[in-house]
A and B are shown apart, each in its own frame.
Chain A
Amino acid sequence: MNWVTHPLVLRVSCWLLGAVMLFAAIPKVIDPPGFAQSVFAYGLLPMALVAPLALALPWLEMLAALGLAFGVARRSAAAIVLLLMLVFIGGLGINLAKGNPVDCGCFGASMAQKTKEQRLFDMKMAVLRDLGLALLALHTLMASKKRQE
Chain B
Amino acid sequence: MMRMMRMKRWMEIPVYIALALLCAWCSNALAGPTRRLSWRLKEPTAVVVPNLKTSLASVSPPAPVPVSPLPSNTEASIVHPALMPMTAKIAKAVAPVSAPPPDPKTGVMARFPPLVQEAQAAISGDEAVWLYARGAIFLDARRTALYTEGHIPGAKSFSAWEDGLPEKVDQLSLFTADLKLPVVIYCSGGECHDSHLVAQKLWLAGFRNLRIYADGYPDWVGRKLAVSKGDKP
Contacts and interface: CB of A to CB of B under 8 A. Distances in A.
Given A41-B191, A63-B19, A34 B12 contact: no
Nearest to A58: B24
Nearest to B11: A76
A40 B160 CA distance: 11
A41 B193 contact: yes
Interface string A8-43: 000000000000000000000111111011001100
A139 interface: no
B228 interface: no
Interface residues of B, number: 37
A143 interface: no
A52 interface: yes
A56 B191 contact: no
A97 interface: no
Interface in B21-73: 21, 23-25, 27-28, 31, 34-41
B143 A34 contact: yes
Interface of A: 29-34, 36-37, 40-41, 47-48, 50-52, 54-60, 62-64, 67, 73, 75-77, 79-80, 101-102, 111, 113, 116, 119
Interface of B: 9, 12-13, 15-17, 19-21, 23-25, 27-28, 31, 34-41, 143, 145-146, 159-163, 188, 190-191, 193-194, 218
